[in-house]
Amino acid sequence: MQRPTLNQLAAGLGLCALLLSGARAQGVCSSDGQPQPVRLLERFLSADCLACWSQAPAPAPGAAGPTLALDWIVPGSQGDEAPLSAAASRDALSRLQTLRRPAPRTQLAVSTPVAGRGGATVRVAHGVALGGYIGASIKARRPSSDRQPATAVLLLVETIAAGSDGTPIARNLVRNMLQAPWNGDSLLQNEKQMNWLERRPLSIPDGANPQRLRVVGWLQDGRGRLLAAAQSACRPEADEPASTPGITSGSAPP
């Protein structure tokens, strides 16, 4: 892959700053004040399987805390002729590879706990859509003693309400993914913790509704375990309460 030039990097960061600054004009969109997910539920749907989208899946096991559900459309054997091909993404294949799971012929649900190990935290934020892009950021913190390699994952998701676009359930459809390695080095560091920040303009794919976009992020270790996770929600500048779509609370025996 050809590396971007300094001019291209500067232009990209400038666009990202512009898009993020737009959030101040139309409200604040970040994970601040939002419940921290304790479990991630990922539903992988084959682009060949229209019924997988139009029928409600079996209820997932409950979790002792908020669960964040995501939906990935996996490229199917029918290629561009598949009924869900417009929303299919090779990012779904990359995520399946990380989970060491094969691509499903119909659908697959994977539940992963968010460990919250070692005091790691994640914050995500985004601006407004502009010119086919949306500026987004992910900030991670972890103790200075934790020098193990990790990866920050930032997702652009489209939140679709139940009864819309042919789905009987609410979905957080993954539209774009950024994976950024963190090898333990940090420009922002003190004796107790390291801070790491990534800002990027994320492209909005054709067919996505910019008004329904938000971001989800997490920090995972070299084994793919989730150390911390967060998701954004938009609220007015007056700090009025904002609901977080796509997150549910459940109770189940430990």
What does the pLDDT look like over 217-231, one tens digit per residue? 999 988 889 999 999
Instruction: Give the domain ranges of the chain.
Output: 26-55+63-236
Topology (CATH) of 26-55+63-236: Immunoglobulin-like (2.60.40)
**The pLDDT value given to residue 62:** 63
Tokens (6 digits) for 204 = 């909005």
Asked if 172 contacts 159 with a C-beta cutoff of 8 angstroms, the reply is yes
Range of weakest confidence among 126-135, 160-169, 180-189, 200-209: 180-189
What residues contact residue 199 under an 8 Å CB cut-off, 6+ apart? 13, 16, 17, 20, 135, 136, 137
Q: How confident is the model at residue 239 (pLDDT cuts 50, 70, 90)?
A: very low
Residues of the chain with pLDDT > 70, as a percent, come to 74
Residues of the chain with pLDDT > 90, as a percent, come to 61
What does the pLDDT look like over 79-118, one tens digit per residue? 999 999 999 999 999 999 999 999 999 999 999 999 876 6
> Is pLDDT of 216 > 60?
yes
Beta bridge partners of 163: none
Asked if 217 contacts 120 with a C-beta cutoff of 8 angstroms, the reply is no
Based on DSSP, count helices (H) and strands (E) in the chain, helices before strands.
Answer: 4, 14
